Structure 1
Amino acid sequence: MVMTAPLIAIYGATGHTGRLVAAELIDRGQEIVLAGRDGVALGAMARALGCRAVTAPLDDQEAIRGLAESADVLIHCAGPFSVTGDPVASAAAEAGCHYIDHAVEPHHVKRLFDTHQATAQRTGAIMIPSLSFYGGLGDLLAGAVTEGMTDVGRVTVAYAVTGWRMTTGALDTARQLFAETVRIGFSDGAQQVGYVEPRNAVFPFPPPVGPRSMIAPVPFPEAVTVPRHVPAREVEAMLTARTFEEEPVFTSEDADVETRARTEFTVAVQALGEHGDRAGHLSGQDLWRAAALASVTGALRLTGGEAPAKSGVLSPGEAFPAAPFLATLERLGALTVTL
């Protein structure tokens, strides 16, 4: 019997993250199809990489459904996901196509759990939102730090980022997130949806970063994803205030690849428990590459016999054993992990 190689579709392939994902998969000898809204740009990229391209605008559900039906895994890289997420995710769920996205928007992540769980379980699709830098790495690190803990009072996920240069999609997403007045949180052992007053906080990052002023909470997906696999009563994400104080961060849409790669990051988790506290952190350079490698690693696990036993919508740390997943990213040079 001739076995066909798994096909991985990349939606939003011509964006910065999509290009990194495509290049990584090509380097690993994977069969890919590029997809998105700009047929001209997709065609040029496909010719350069020697692969196929499919033009699938968001309002063409037939094209998006055809893409999902043809693929084994669909990696969605085109934000803002509040706009692009549901059409692509719906097609994947209905087609039984495994789905991974790079979303940072918690409302989109919550919507996937609320609206696509039953369909994905019925069709056998495994859907993993936010398998990316913001949200995904925090969720995985929280799982690794709290492994074996049975009662966790509070999980804090703190991001220290310098030199971040946003793409157009990231800039649109950031503006939207910080303008939202209805936030998703997790406290008293339950998901909370409502107005949250942001505050200034200080988080004690390990050396050489040290204590930093933080925006708390930030509207990242951890409040939705972490409680699915960590027995926590409260979950909160924070981001260094300095990240948005750097002047170029909001004027860097045209930054080149080398400039974007100069980001430096540390992600730290504190878990406070009745029987002792735990902490861990990861750090590295180029959050865009770390994000791309996270989604590629997840996709290859889904096609390579390491998929979770259950289908449906799963958080990253619910889908994969967290510490081994982070160890794989460390071996790939995306980051270093300290647990």
Structure 2
Amino acid sequence: MTPPPIAIYGATGHTGRLVAAELHARGHAMVLAGRDAAALDAMAAEFGASACHAPLDDPAALRALAGIAAVLVNCAGPYSATGAPVATAAAEAGCHYIDHAVEPHHVKWLFDTLQAPAQRSGATMIPSLSFYGGLGDLLAAAVARGVAGIDRVTAAYAVAGWRLTAGALETARQLFADTRRIGFTGGAQQVGWVEPRNAVFAFPPPIGPRAMIAPVPFPEALTVPRHVPAREVEAMLTARTFEEEGVFDGVHATAATRAGTDFTVAVQVIAEHGGRSGQLSGRDLWRAAALASVEGAVRLAEGDPPAKSGVLAPAEVFPAEPFLRDLERLGAFTLQL
């Protein structure tokens, strides 16, 4: 009996194509879905896959898509526009769901709104199983494992050579214009304006100390406290990332140019009796994101680990260090713990 396919929503975008290529290389059946029927048909012919035209304003089409898939991987940003209809269809159909969202308000909406429907239908829903958010969440769980009395968890991203897609550009505009930012301080979730501050984070050599945007509105403030008991969780991004020439002009960049991104994600855990840190470094954050979502989707499709229902952080579903080690073996990055 042929196992149900993995559906990719937003398959014709940059991330969607990377996800499709990885699933194709693994020989996994897939359905390419989205809003552009002609582009989907052409890509389906290229990969020998099925295509499904499912506009965001067609709940029946989205529900039909979720009904035939084991897992639905949403690669279409910004998630403030695409997240609710696609995720709702998955939750109602009992289809496992993964997305690449960096928007905290979308992630909060999933936890607040779809938790009960997903638990009723048996769907496992994992927001932000991607580069930003997901890798920070998994790394925080791996670093914090066994540490008692945690005061602060900091996820710091050093990114150079990033070229934003159209969806990522619109997401960045929304994130930095947001006046109701979601944070985690004093052991509780906070929503409101947060005044940015100057910060320096000491990355491991050869990067060293770097000026940072702090805090940045990434999902770690929502996901990490679900499995790491800390008083404060914060994400930071190198200030230089958005100062580089071409970062905002990358909508039409080639795939090869996009692959030229150097990155390090470092997590520092400060506790009452000292601290601990870990980091991962690599090239091509888009591929690292695609590999993370594919690895998660294949495991959910195969029941490894047995699925937990509901909306969950990446590290609530997968054992953090083994999952990161498997991504390292796939060439996503080099891990140091």
Q: Which interval holds the TM-score relative to the shorter structure?
A: over 0.9
How far 1:36 sits from its partner (Å)?
Answer: 0.2
Query: 1:98 is matched with which residue: 92, 96, 99?
Result: 96
1:127 aligns with 2:98: no
CA contact (8 A) 2:180 2:191 kept: yes
Instruction: Classify the secondary structure of the residue corresponding to 2:235.
Output: strand
Superposed, which structure 2 residues align to 1:43-82 within 5 Å?
43-82=41-80
- Name 2:32's counterpart in structure 1: 34
Amino acid corresponding to residue 147 of structure 2 in structure 1: M
| Alpha-carbon distance in structure 2 between the residues aligned to 1:193 and 1:151 | 24
| Alpha-carbon distance in structure 2 between the residues aligned to 1:275 and 1:143 | 18
1:115 aligns with 2:113: yes
1:214 aligns with 2:212: yes
Amino acid corresponding to residue 279 of structure 2 in structure 1: H
Moved over 2 A (4+): 307-310
| Alpha-carbon distance in structure 1 between the residues aligned to 2:97 and 2:212 | 32
| Alpha-carbon distance in structure 2 between the residues aligned to 1:21 and 1:97 | 18
How far 1:150 sits from its partner (Å)?
Answer: 3.0
CA contact (8 A) 1:153 1:233 kept: yes
How far 1:244 sits from its partner (Å)?
Answer: 0.1
Amino acid corresponding to residue 13 of structure 1 in structure 2: A
TM-score by length of 1: 0.98
Gaps of 5+ in 2: none
1:17-70 deviations in Å (ceiling 9; x for gaps): 000000100100000000000001001100111111000000000000000011
| Alpha-carbon distance in structure 2 between the residues aligned to 1:318 and 1:305 | 15
Amino acid corresponding to residue 335 of structure 1 in structure 2: F
How far 1:151 sits from its partner (Å)?
Answer: 2.1
CA contact (8 A) 1:216 1:238 kept: yes
Instruction: Classify the secondary structure of the residue corresponding to 1:161.
Output: strand
How far 1:84 sits from its partner (Å)?
Answer: 0.4
| Alpha-carbon distance in structure 2 between the residues aligned to 1:68 and 1:136 | 23
How far 1:105 sits from its partner (Å)?
Answer: 0.2
- Name 2:304's counterpart in structure 1: 306
CA contact (8 A) 2:4 2:68 kept: no
Amino acid corresponding to residue 183 of structure 1 in structure 2: R
1:337 aligns with 2:335: yes
1:267-294 deviations in Å (ceiling 9; x for gaps): 0000001122000000000000000000
| Alpha-carbon distance in structure 1 between the residues aligned to 2:165 and 2:315 | 27
How far 1:304 sits from its partner (Å)?
Answer: 2.0
| Alpha-carbon distance in structure 1 between the residues aligned to 2:141 and 2:264 | 17
| Alpha-carbon distance in structure 2 between the residues aligned to 1:129 and 1:290 | 16
How far 1:6 sits from its partner (Å)?
Answer: 2.9
| Alpha-carbon distance in structure 2 between the residues aligned to 1:275 and 1:201 | 24
Amino acid corresponding to residue 111 of structure 1 in structure 2: W
1:161-206 deviations in Å (ceiling 9; x for gaps): 0000010000010011001111000001100011100111000000
Q: 1:308 to 1:143 in 2, by over 3 A?
A: farther
CA contact (8 A) 2:126 2:314 kept: yes
CA contact (8 A) 1:308 1:319 kept: no
Superposed, which structure 2 residues align to 1:186-335 within 5 Å?
186-335=184-333
How far 1:308 sits from its partner (Å)?
Answer: 4.6
Amino acid corresponding to residue 193 of structure 2 in structure 1: Y
- Name 1:83's counterpart in structure 2: 81
CA contact (8 A) 2:54 2:61 kept: yes
Bigger mean CA deviation after superposition, 303-312 or 59-68: 303-312
How far 1:242 sits from its partner (Å)?
Answer: 0.2
Amino acid corresponding to residue 81 of structure 1 in structure 2: Y
| Alpha-carbon distance in structure 1 between the residues aligned to 2:223 and 2:334 | 23
How far 1:309 sits from its partner (Å)?
Answer: 4.9
Instruction: Classify the secondary structure of the residue corresponding to 2:175.
Output: helix
Identical positions, percent: 74
TM-score by length of 2: 0.99
1:74-99 deviations in Å (ceiling 9; x for gaps): 00000000010000000000100000
Give the aligned CA root-mean-square deviation in angstroms.
0.7
| Alpha-carbon distance in structure 1 between the residues aligned to 2:239 and 2:288 | 22
Gaps of 5+ in 1: none
- Name 1:5's counterpart in structure 2: 3
CA contact (8 A) 2:300 2:307 kept: no
